[in-house]
A and B are shown apart, each in its own frame.
Chain A
Amino acid sequence: MATHETHGQHDHNHAHDHAPLPDRDGAWSDAQYLEAAVRELLLEKGILTADEIRRQIEAMDRRSPEQGARVVARAWVDPGYRQRLLQDGTAAVRELGIEIEPVHLIVVENTEREHNLVVCTLCSCYPRNLLGLPPDWYKARAYRSRAVSEPRTVLAEFGTAIPDHVAVRVHDSTADMRYMVLPRRPSGTEGMGEAELAALISRDSMIGVVTLAPPKP
């Protein structure tokens, strides 16, 4: 049995059904050089350690929409919490151990009369501590420009039909606030507990591009 060497010239103990994939290591961009230079200086001057940087990256990669779903599920089962969440999102998510500062959280609630949609037309501001990394489409120019100018068409492309009697409220995340949508609780979930509810709540429903369907029986 051959020892496992770098891919490409090793002896095989497994079958390949494809041609070798090219490495995508192109030339570095200016930003990559800048990041490496700053990082190496921080290490060299003893301001940060490599382990601290690694831990921070690991912590950032661990963020996921499950945090936001936990917040929404709590608001659905606890009217007092829902009220605090709409009043002061930053403080309410801190109750659940989620820190959003230095930015501030505004939670906007979908109702029978209003549907909320979040966008950042200037860049890609997003409540990462609650929802993880933003999806690629959220950062794309097409979504950023069209979500503010033709939101109903964009929503329809996500499969979300907004009835005429419901107002569409777009929130352009241009400065120090971050936004999360509190979706409507689907019917057929009356007996469910918080954890079961949280499992129903999608990332996209908290951005506002979809609504939540009743659970399949």
Chain B
Amino acid sequence: MKPRFRTGQPVTVLQAWPRTHCRTPFYCRGKTGIIERLCGAFRNPQELAYSGEGLPKSPLYRVRFRQQDLWPGYRGKSEDTVDIELYEFWLEPAA
């Protein structure tokens, strides 16, 4: 599967709330960050958790978010970041 996003590209995490096991923390949903790197392709944990095959594999990225974009009133420095591993099907190009 050809990766849809490239390093440096801004992406937004879907505002989705599936009632299943998933590996997307609530605190980044709907937030915009930058693709830090492509990690490879991995089985879908939302299916693996229920004895599924999790195929086809999905590209997995590290997305870098600015802390001040994640937490209103963040009390650190504006350069501070959080990198989160996110599967491609949770991401869309930033508007």
Contacts and interface: CB of A to CB of B under 8 A. Distances in A.
B82 interface: yes
B76 A152 contact: yes
Contact of A148 (B27, B60, B85): B27
Interface in A159-178: 164, 167-177
12 contacts: A104-B40, A121-B27, A169-B81, A169-B82, A172-B84, A174-B86, A175-B23, A175-B39, A175-B42, A175-B87, A176-B40, A177-B60
Task: Select the residue from B60, B70, B71, B83 with max chain A CB neighbours within 10 A.
Answer: B83
B25 A172 contact: yes
Interface of B: 23-25, 27, 39-40, 42, 45, 60, 62, 67, 70-71, 74-77, 79-87
A175 B85 contact: yes
Given A104-B39, A121-B25, A122-B25, A176 B60 contact: yes
- Contact residues on A (Cβ < 8 Å of other chain), bracket: 20 to 34
A174 B65 CA distance: 14
B9 to A, nearest CB: 19
A51 to B, nearest CB: 29
Nearest to B82: A170
A176 B76 contact: no
B80 A149 contact: no
B85 A167 contact: no
A134 interface: no
Contacts of A164: 77
Contact of B83 (A152, A167, A172, A176): A172
